A and B are shown apart, each in its own frame.
Chain A
């Protein structure tokens, strides 16, 4: 089959998603403020792992780890993850403690679109640490019949 013919046949119909009001970078900033108040998170100690390019946004593996001795006097109390563009800025809030041994949390999230993700860790001394990552979501090619 001739490739040019093929390209002609598939000439572009792109219907952009008309989603419900999406969370915005502002909404994310608001949501972060609710959790950390007026504190300013320091970049560092947090490692946020998400694939930079995902084949499908509906199930994206995500892992957050925080450098910490996880002792009674020095440990991570919470890990929060936020996103810019899903309808809601909060993704999850996890509670940890010295008993965790390691400040590492993994889950899978939904991403409606390419966007920035932010992870914030709260340590037992009341400080906040953060890391961000950008994820590019490619559109699935062959979708279900539309509703």
Chain B
């Protein structure tokens, strides 16, 4: 935006802001609930939600044959509403024959390299995000359901450890903001509980669709920590932890966030 070079407004006052009228036993809040009415309406209306433009693009790419194999996603997976339903709700997961978890974008890139014999798409590439949004959209309104796989435990533990580790010049951990101070205000913005319910998201700040990694990088930059490179395993570990923490919450892809 207009030359906002670095507006790291951490001068903040935490204002104990909302008298959260929480209903029912599950007190967890999606970032959706912390947004104003105008943004909630933007997310809810499929012809007003800019993320749906990328879902549309993903649907077009789904049918496009690429790579040396000259195959489209649809050639192997048929119609996504059936074949991809529920898939995003259980990622990251360990692919067959692999020994490390991959996130949804990583899984799509595996299909590109192994099945389509094409180059992997770079992180935050528009087509990769569009495909990921299209696949994840097939799980909208389904509940997050991490797979039962004991091999994931160690990675998830690592994610939990990173989540609690203080880092950056501000010496903060994710937990200090997102567990201890969630619902309070930071520079006028409500700190959400950091549930990965809507990824990839259309973030107004970006004026584009972006991945959970990009969102996590923003938080790392916010606390003046060195953000790991986009292909670092730390992101997948954190995502595994965050998905477990959000287990049972509904997916919203493509979510809109400020």
Contacts and interface: CB of A to CB of B under 8 A. Distances in A.
Contacts, number: 134
Interface string A82-98: 00001100000000000
Contacts of A143: 4, 6-8, 205, 218, 221-222
Interface string B1-45: 111111111111010000000000000000000011111011000
B221 A6 contact: no
A139 B12 CA distance: 11
A7 to B, nearest CB: 7
Given A6-B176, A10-B172, A55-B258, A144 B7 contact: no
Contacts of A145: 217, 221, 227
Given A6-B180, A51-B38, A140-B205, A57 B1 contact: yes
Contacts of A58: 1, 204-205, 207
A140 B215 CA distance: 12
Interface string A42-56: 000000000101111
B5 A142 contact: no
Contacts of A51: 36-38
B206 interface: yes
Main secondary structure of the interface of A (DSSP, over half): loop
Contact of A6 (B4, B172, B187): B172
Interface residues of B, number: 44
B109 to A, nearest CB: 23
Given A140-B189, A143-B6, A10 B204 contact: no
B122 interface: no
A38 interface: no
Interface in A8-53: 9-20, 22, 51, 53
Contacts of A57: 1
Nearest to A2: B180
A45 B233 CA distance: 58
B96 interface: no
Contacts of B7: 14-17, 139-140, 143
B2 A22 contact: yes
Interface residues of A, number: 41
Given A17-B4, A143-B222, A146-B5, A10 B10 contact: yes
A104 to B, nearest CB: 15
B219 interface: yes
Max chain B C-beta neighbours (<10 A), residue from A1, A18, A61, A86: A1
Interface in B177-196: 180-181, 186-189, 191
15 contacts: A3-B14, A10-B12, A11-B10, A13-B8, A14-B9, A15-B8, A17-B3, A17-B4, A19-B2, A53-B36, A59-B42, A112-B3, A138-B189, A143-B4, A144-B205
Interface of A: 1, 3, 6-7, 9-20, 22, 51, 53-59, 61, 86-87, 110, 112-113, 138-147
- A-B pairs, top 6 by smallest CB distance, nearest first, are A138-B188, A12-B11, A112-B2, A19-B3, A55-B258, A142-B222
Given A9-B170, A56-B204, A138-B189, 4 more contacts: A10-B170, A22-B2, A61-B42, A143-B222
